Amino acid sequence: MFNKLMFWKKRAVSSNLQERMALLKQQSIPEHVAIIMDGNGRWASKRKLPRIAGHHEGMKCVKRITKLADELGVKALTLYAFSTENWKRPKKEVEYIMSLPEQFLGTFLPELIEKNVRVTSIGYTKQLPPHTLKALEDAIEKTKNNTGLILNFALNYGSRSEIVQAVKNIVNDCEGKKIDVDDITPDLFSTYLMTSNLSDPDLLIRTSGEIRISNFMMWQLAYTELWFTDVLWPDFKEEHLVEAIEVFQNRQRRFGGV
């Protein structure tokens, strides 16, 4: 009896989710969604598991959210996977996190190719371990001609460093007479950032109850709609992404106007 009740409950939830998704598609879907995937360690601690178990579970979440974003028609999904500050974490945890791109792309890449998804990255990727970098570069190369969802991983990424580097490059170009100081505008500055090939995020999601952006895309988030949830990343399900987009669709984006 219990199993039957669970079956019908899951079926009802699935049906309701499909109805909500259909309604979402009738309105404006955010073109670029960025997610700070937080709470893997706490998820594991709550279950008295090692922190790496939370990261493993979080990887499963990346798969289901990528699939749903693609189905909804999101054009770019940026996932904050590892920050420039995360090297401070315990060595074993960092080593495990650095193995995740291989695990994720090793099993999921064929499906990404089939779904026409293009893998890209931002961050100081050359500083990643060779095996991590190889997995990432292989996925980028094999999907470079795809024209569907852009799955953008922020790996070894930090916004302050990105902005400082952009300033240095602009100064060099000014000194080299490639541009004039009067040419510098917000639009020009954006072309010097790692996200020059992407539109700014329309929606930022952060999980786990933290209400900050943690050195993530600070320039790009100037007019982004922010949505925070207490849900830990491994527990973040399709209905949570749908809820975030529902909230997004009910907000008025004025961009400084009336």
Catalytic residue among 86, 146, 169, 215: 86
Instruction: Indicate the residue type of 92.
Output: K
Rounded CA separation 36/208 (Å): 9
Apex CA 24: angle with CA 20 and CA 26, to 5°?
A: 120
Q: Is 86 a catalytic residue?
A: yes
Residue 144 is encoded by which pair of tokens? 């470079």
Question: Quick one: how many helices (H) and strands (E) in the chain?
Answer: 8, 6
HEC per residue, 154-190:
EEEECHHHHHHHHHHHHHHHHHCCCCCHHHCCHHHHH
Q: Name the 3-class secondary structure at 58.
A: helix
Q: How far is CA 22 from each of CA 19, 37, 203, 233, 246, rounded to the nearest angstrom? A: 5, 26, 19, 25, 11
Q: Name the 3-class secondary structure at 224.
A: coil
Apex CA 250: angle with CA 38 and CA 19, to 5°?
A: 80
Q: Which residues are catalytic?
A: 38, 86
